[in-house]
A and B are shown apart, each in its own frame.
Chain A
Amino acid sequence: MKIYTKILITTLPLVVLSLISAMGMTYYFSHNALTDLAETLLKARLKEALKNTSERDDILHRYGLESIEPSVKQAQLDAGKEMLSIDIGKQGYIFVVDSQGIIVVHPDNAVVGMDVSREVWFREITQNPTGQISYSFRGISHIAMYEFFQNWQWYIIASDPESEVYGAIDRMGIYVLLLGALGPILLALVLMVMTRRLTAPLRLLETGAKKIGEGDLETRIVVHSRDEFSSLSDVFNKMAKQLQETLTALQNSEKHFRSIIENVSDIITILDSSGNIRYLSPSVKQVLGYCPEELTTKNIFDFIHIDDKPNLVNFFNLRIQIPGVAPLIEFRFLCKDGSWRTLEAIGNNLLDDSVVEGVIIYSRDLTDRKQAEEALAAEKERLAVTLRSIGDGVITTDIKGRVLLINKEAEKLTGWTQEDAIGRLLLEVFNIINEKTRDSCENPVDKVIKTEESAGLAIQTVLIAKDGTERIIADSAAPIFDKKSKIIGVVLVFRDVSEKRKMVEERLKIQKLESIGLLAGGIAHDFNNILTAFMGNISLSKLYVTPEDKIFERLEDMEKATFRAMDLTGQLLTFSKGGAPVKKTLSIPELIKDCAIFALRGSNVQCEFSFSDDLWPSEIDEGQISQVINNMIINADQAMSEGGKIQVCAENMVVDAKHSLPLQPGRYIRISIQDQGNGITKERLSRIFDPYFTTKQKGSGLGLATAYSIIDKHDGYIVADSELGVGSTFYIYLPASEKKVQKVKETRTKAFAGKGRILVVDDEALIRDIAGKLLSHMGYDVTFAKGGAEAVKRYQKAMESGKTFDAVIMDLTIPGGMGGKEAVQHLLKIDPEVNAIVSSGYSNDPVMSDFRKYGFKGVVIKPYKLDELGKALQKILV
């Protein structure tokens, strides 16, 4: 029997007996104490009720009211009311029974007036004026104290139900019984717990000793007491600690060696004399993918590449006969995933060693190293190919500026082959000068090495190739650093930007011409209006004099001068943004021939033509292109003052995206006009298309500028090439058309007099005046309007009156008012058959070139002469 059980059996009965005795005594004394307490309480409350009653009675006597029935009744009511407010516990109360046994005061109104004279308890209280009774009322047992109040013949009774008086002790009885039942159980539990606590160290010692015995040397026995158990536990703990230290030293030693073997990346294998694997280090998993257990007991030669096996078998067989270290051998070993890895191994025959009894093989994986070597070689080759294939020229030098490498593009641009260039100083191969000064440029290698930063060349750097060819280049040079950020050389990258440079210059030229054109156009427009008045008046004046008259001669001179002025403004207008081409699909050779022959009339210069047979037609403004060709031929003629030949060619040409010309990709006709003149210097060549730039004493400086503008408006391109002493060539590119050539029948009409009502619409009084005079002269009846709104009103009125206008000549632009474009729409609503002619000296509006689309039937360009106006009217009125 355990100590724990023994202690319980001894102490439990004693404690239970003591408990039961204590409970019995508690119940007995509590019962008596509560009874006394209830009696005391009832007495006190009864006394209080009697005092209140006496006071009320005193008042009656004091004021002589005792014989007045209502007063007595009131006093009794007051006293009763007061009694009912006295608390006796929760259920107790005071009530009053009169001497007849009638209840006169009671908290329950229902019993007031009840006769209790027959009740035993009432008879009992009538025996003594004061006392204590126990009675049952309505089935409830009460304890009561009473006293008889003589003056009012009242038995005043302070009563409390026994359930309340003894309620506490009754309730306590249940608790005592419960305690009697549960107490021993509780005590037994307490005793068990206490005993268990006392014997706990013993159990700890027992458990600890068992664990140490089983080898758990970490175990320590903790006993928090200052007794024998504590000393005993200390002894156990010391023993365990010594044992643990010894064992730990041994384990550390083993762990040390094991970790060395297990953490080397090489594979350590122990084979028996037959080549069977006895041990494999864990690194085999990382290198070959096998777990060591998978290969243990298997024969190593089953995993050797068939090509390497014989060699290895021989090697092994040889080595097992000679103890000690064997030389290195390389072989391929089958990996778990089916691939092969190349291993380099060294063996140590320890078959005779009693501990090892095997051959130890140390193997190292060479696969990655071999692959890296191969990859490096391939990468080197790839880089070399890339470098040679790159579009830019690349030259690398060492720190002294000697060429180390030169790619194919660099070979092409410098004219040096790789073989010739390597080892030479850079400037020998890469000969660069300033485009303007022709001075040698600074060696970029020096610059980079000095600054240790990348550097670019000046914009106007020219590379002179080995064969003397000059190219404008853009380049950059950058230092080459080694791993320690030390400069070990320079890399030079460059490209030919000659074509690109040309394109930029062309773009700038176009922009310049556009801005000048805008200004010139504005001036020419106003000037043209003035010339219209001049021309009209001169035309009219000539009608009033005979050719013999001296004034006629002056008028002729004036007319010529005005023509020149008109020609000048015409050129200005064409050059400017205005004058949108009125295009037709035409055959170029015919046009060129006509123009050239016409321009060279009377000249000692001959013209030779060369046109492709299948030359594409082009959509052009006949007049404008004629003007261009005319200018070109005249220039060529003037360049050869002593005669010569002009070569005029036209050929088809396809411009693709790669082309350097500033043209959209597509089909073009290239016209070249080559003279044999003195040529133009390069400086001048870049400015020949600028307005008012001329080399001729009588030139206006507008010819080539106008030509440039016309070609540009045709979405084409004009460029010149010249060599001093050889001559100049102008190239004109015009877009080819898919349409067929339009055959135009020219009808010549004469200015005839006419009849009819004409409405002239113009905001300028000068124009209205001269137009009126010209039309009147031709026989027309003229009406004027200052603007579109007025014109519409007049036209409407005329329609209503039946005197319709036969034609309306409308100015296209009316500042601040309704112009011709809008007004004609109103007129068409009034009269869909209206004969409207649009008139303008200059317009950037497409209305002039495509007037029908806008509702006009004719067009007349200011300044107009008598016959031009007459023609325009005749066209629509006939």
Chain B
Amino acid sequence: MKRNLFLIDLLFCIFWILTFPVLLEAKDPNTSPVLRLAMDAATPGILDPHFAAATHDRSAVDMLFNGLVRYKPGDSSSIEPDLAESLPRSEIMDGRQIWTFSLRKGVMFHPGPKNAAYELTADDVVYSLQKSADPNRSAYAGEYTGMTFEKSDKYTIRIIREKPLSTTLFLPKVANYAGGFIVSKKAVEAMGDDFFKTHPVGTGPFMFGGYTSGKKIRMNANELYFRGRPFLDAVEILYIPDIGHRELALKSAKADCIIGKVDTAWARKMEREKGILVDIHGVGEVATIYFNTKVQPLTDVRVRKAIAYGLERDLFLSYFGKPMVKNVYSPVPDHFLPGGLTKEEAETLGLDYAFNPGKARQLLAEAGYINGFALKLVASEFEQYLKNYECMRDQLQRINVDLTIEVVDHSTMHKKIRQDVNPMTLYVAWRPNADVYLTRFFHSDSIVVTGAKPDTNFSHYDKIDGLIEAARQEINPNKQIELWKHAQIKILEDMVAYPLHYMNLIYARRAYVDYGHELVSSMALYPQITEKTRFLKKTVHEMKTQKD
């Protein structure tokens, strides 16, 4: 049987090698600066930025659109002006918070299928934000509840919040992420929302050039880009779901950059390839174990704490390799977002739950489970889930907690965990700020099935609603962080969730690709291709030599 599988794989590889050159033309990167980015998807999804959620779609809209402000390319911890001339300051009038933005002049929208290129004005920004706030036209409408948008003049808009919000929470709503992307009013009105989803028109450094079914989308350089014409002529996003094929494409220089495999061994292997560089960077999706406090025996906090003491974070790391994964000690990852607890803080407060099997067994004994207990869990087939589940299972056996894991496909897992089938749910997710993390995973409204807005509160936890809401309304950033920390201390004290680690993103590229910025973390979940991205000539020569 194994032999047959090997033969099938071999035949498939031969077929791929034969057909790949037809699909992808190998070009001299020096004479034809078109960057080919291979993503792990079979087809593009929705390219309306207000719906784009998948990593490969987020990368595309990141190149096509701008926000009023933006995360500095390659560094998501820093925000700078984008379409706005400067970062705004708020003022409180009649209890309402008013944010005023002055727009850059001369920013041009791409020409679309039904519109010529034209200058961005306040009308477009107001229209775009209203679209983001409309639940029927945006997946992120909840973020804009209680906000109204006004045009002051051609280049000035005002955003009015009924309830004041701190800068930390407000700016991400108007940044180049999700609902903050500004779309072309004329293009959307001319094409309609549905058509716009496949023919995006923005102001970004690249503009939509077309989709070759099942292969790629092309985005051409925006000659009128307000930060200057990109060095690259175009970017093509290649849809190659299989990591092996992506790897092959990169090695044969048919792709210039690929999304990699979250696996240290893979990273090491690629790094050994001549002319290939590997980038491991944030932002990292956080893996957290949520305890269902409504399910026996997890209703007892001693049991939950026993499990926590029975787990050893470093063992999880070994499944992926340390460079790829870093431990976290609070639900909000302090490495990327304000409001998280550092390892030192957790230790000071005694909430790091360092591996202590004796204490675990003692707590189980106190709770009446001296012989342990058994639980049945549903897990995704995805490696980043399955490995964690398996590691957890193996570790908890040491304290006689027996986990049975049912492996299902990824979407089934998502479906089932939202049906509240798991007593313990390991979930991997990235959220843009502490408020979103805490609200969606720990606010009572988000309790799965029974919550007012059922979401991902798999713990059925309802003890920190007040803190979450107070923090959300706090406009002093320091005090806001203190409230978020109190909320997480409560979570940890009650051990409703055990934060494991965050998983970095991994991309590999040909050495001649220069992204044009330092790469630390990216909210767009890919290394970010901008107008400054380019091919390095010297490296190209080296590449040619190597190919010869």
Contacts and interface: CB of A to CB of B under 8 A. Distances in A.
A56 B489 CA distance: 14
Interface stretch (A65-73, A333-341, A399-407, A797-805): A65-73
A63 B348 contact: no
Interface string A1-15: 000000000000000
Contact of B348 (A59, A68, A77): A77
B349 A70 contact: yes
A56 to B, nearest CB: 8
A443 interface: no
Given A59-B483, A77-B348, A78-B482, A70 B489 contact: yes
Contacts of B72: none
Contacts of A550: none
B80 interface: no
Q: Which 9 A-B pairs have the closest CB atoms?
A: A70-B349, A70-B489, A78-B482, A71-B489, A63-B466, A63-B467, A68-B493, A74-B489, A70-B351
Interface of B: 345, 348-351, 464, 466-467, 470, 482-483, 485-486, 489-490, 492-493
Contact of B490 (A68, A73, A75): A68
Contacts of A78: 482
Contacts of A56: 482
B350 A70 contact: yes
A1 to B, nearest CB: 78
Q: Which of A63, A73, A77, A78 has the most CB of B within 10 A?
A: A63
Contacts of B486: 59, 63, 65, 71, 74-75
A555 to B, nearest CB: 97
Given A59-B482, A73-B349, 12 more contacts: A63-B464, A63-B466, A65-B489, A68-B493, A70-B349, A71-B490, A71-B493, A74-B349, A74-B485, A74-B489, A75-B486, A78-B482
Q: Which of B348, B485, B489 has the most CB of A within 10 A?
A: B489
A875 interface: no
Contacts of A71: 486, 489-490, 493
A297 to B, nearest CB: 106
Contacts of B345: 74
Contacts of A74: 345, 349, 482, 485-486, 489
Nearest to B351: A70
Interface of A: 56, 59, 62-63, 65, 68-71, 73-75, 77-78
Contact of B493 (A62, A63, A70, A77): A70
A688 to B, nearest CB: 95
Nearest to A55: B479
A854 to B, nearest CB: 71
Contacts of A68: 489-490, 493
B490 A65 contact: yes
A63 to B, nearest CB: 5
Contacts of A73: 348-349
Contacts of B470: 63
Contacts of B483: 59
8 contacts: A56-B482, A63-B466, A69-B350, A70-B349, A71-B490, A74-B482, A74-B485, A74-B486
A68 to B, nearest CB: 5
Contacts of B485: 74
B489 A62 contact: no
Contacts of B493: 68, 70-71
A77 B493 CA distance: 17
B497 to A, nearest CB: 15
B471 to A, nearest CB: 10
B76 to A, nearest CB: 26
Contacts of B348: 73, 77
A875 B489 CA distance: 141
A62 B489 CA distance: 15
A73 to B, nearest CB: 6
A68 B485 CA distance: 13
A63 B349 CA distance: 18
A365 B133 CA distance: 126
Contacts of B489: 65, 68, 70-71, 74
Nearest to A56: B482
Contacts of A62: 466
Nearest to A79: B482
B476 to A, nearest CB: 11
Contacts of B467: 63
Contacts of B350: 69-70
A78 B341 CA distance: 13
A75 B479 CA distance: 11
A3 B49 CA distance: 100
Nearest to A59: B486
Nearest to A78: B482
Contacts of A70: 349-351, 489, 492-493
Nearest to A71: B489
A75 B467 CA distance: 14
B473 to A, nearest CB: 13
Contacts of A77: 348
B492 to A, nearest CB: 8
A77 B341 CA distance: 13
A59 B486 CA distance: 9
A400 B393 CA distance: 153
Nearest to B465: A63
A71 B486 CA distance: 6
Q: Which of B464, B467, B486 has the most CB of A within 10 A?
A: B486
A74 B483 CA distance: 10
Q: Which of A59, A74, A78 has the most CB of B within 10 A?
A: A74
B496 to A, nearest CB: 14
A59 B350 CA distance: 20
A56 B485 CA distance: 12
Contacts of B466: 62-63
B490 to A, nearest CB: 7
A70 B349 CA distance: 5
A62 to B, nearest CB: 7
B305 to A, nearest CB: 13
B439 to A, nearest CB: 16
B464 to A, nearest CB: 8
A73 B348 CA distance: 9
A62 B345 CA distance: 23
A74 to B, nearest CB: 6
Nearest to B481: A78
B116 to A, nearest CB: 56
B547 to A, nearest CB: 58
Contacts of A65: 486, 489-490
B465 to A, nearest CB: 10
A606 to B, nearest CB: 114
A78 B492 CA distance: 18
Q: Which of B470, B483, B485 has the most CB of A within 10 A?
A: B485
Nearest to B485: A74
A73 B341 CA distance: 14
A692 B464 CA distance: 144
Contacts of A75: 486
Contacts of A63: 464, 466-467, 470, 486, 490
B422 to A, nearest CB: 27
A59 B490 CA distance: 13
A745 B467 CA distance: 151
A62 B474 CA distance: 15
B311 to A, nearest CB: 19
A56 B483 CA distance: 10
B487 to A, nearest CB: 8
Nearest to A85: B478
A456 B241 CA distance: 118
A69 B349 CA distance: 8
A70 B485 CA distance: 11
A516 B464 CA distance: 134
Contacts of B482: 56, 59, 74, 78
Nearest to B494: A68
B495 to A, nearest CB: 12
A77 B351 CA distance: 15
